[in-house]
Amino acid sequence: QKEVEQDPGPLSVPEGAIVSLNCTYSNSAFQYFMWYRQYSRKGPELLMYTYSSGNKEDGRFTAQVDKSSKYISLFIRDSQPSDSATYLCAMDSSYKLIFGSGTRLLVRP
Amino acid sequence: NAGVTQTPKFQVLKTGQSMTLQCAQDMNHNSMYWYRQDPGMGLRLIYYSASEGTTDKGEVPNGYNVSRLNKREFSLRLESAAPSQTSVYFCASSKGVGQDSYEQYFGPGTRLTVT
């Protein structure tokens, strides 16, 4: 079993929809939870990160962590075609990151 | 600032050939990383360098060697390429270790095919 699981998608939504992207994990020692966005044929870039449980909001993006369920989510409000990308969750492990395999998102105009 | 640069962008090798992937960053970061990305597997850490002069193995180090040439440059060498090493390779850097390692800046990647 992988330490971090993520549905590969693709997830296809119409422009303006609310998008929910999720990861589950098995290691209860994880404390920091990151979301990276990767456009096609580019390197990933950090979107946001949260520490421990709770919510964090940044513009149209909200990251949510539920440590009791070992479940994290990224919500995108008012999704735009420019949000079409692969979203990777990542978690801390001894000063290194463990990445999920990524969920491909397509926002249709 | 160029950020993180990688060369080459594409490479085709025959089984058994060797090559070095080059990576440089101009952000004065202390830590650098090499990952490979395969379909359905996500990013997997090959080697990392917490600071100049140190290197450590990641999750999938077999078949690779690294050199932290100076603070800016971190190279990845395949001594005898195998088809299983066909992948997209990303170099990344961060300010340091600990919490500073969670914000990593990635290069554009090198697409390697081994036939």
At B45-91, the pLDDT tens digits run 999 999 999 999 999 999 999 999 999 999 999 999 999 999 999 99
* pLDDT above 80 for A22: yes
A44:B50 CB<8 A: no
Q: Which of A7, A18, A104, A12 is nearest to A61 (CA)?
A: A18
Chain A residue closest to B38 (CA)?
A: A101
* pLDDT above 90 for A80: yes
- Cβ-Cβ contacts under 8 Å for A72 (sequence gap 6 or more): A22, A23, A24, A25, A33, A50, A63, A64, A65, A66, A89
A97:B40 CB<8 A: no
Q: What number of C-beta contacts closer than 8 Å exist between A and B?
A: 56
**Is the Cα dihedral B3, A96, A35, B66 positive or negative?**
positive
Q: A residues 87-106 near B, CB within 8 Å?
A: 88, 90, 92, 95-97, 99-102
Q: For the CA atoms of A39, A81, A32, A2, what is the dihedral angle to 10 degrees? A: -60
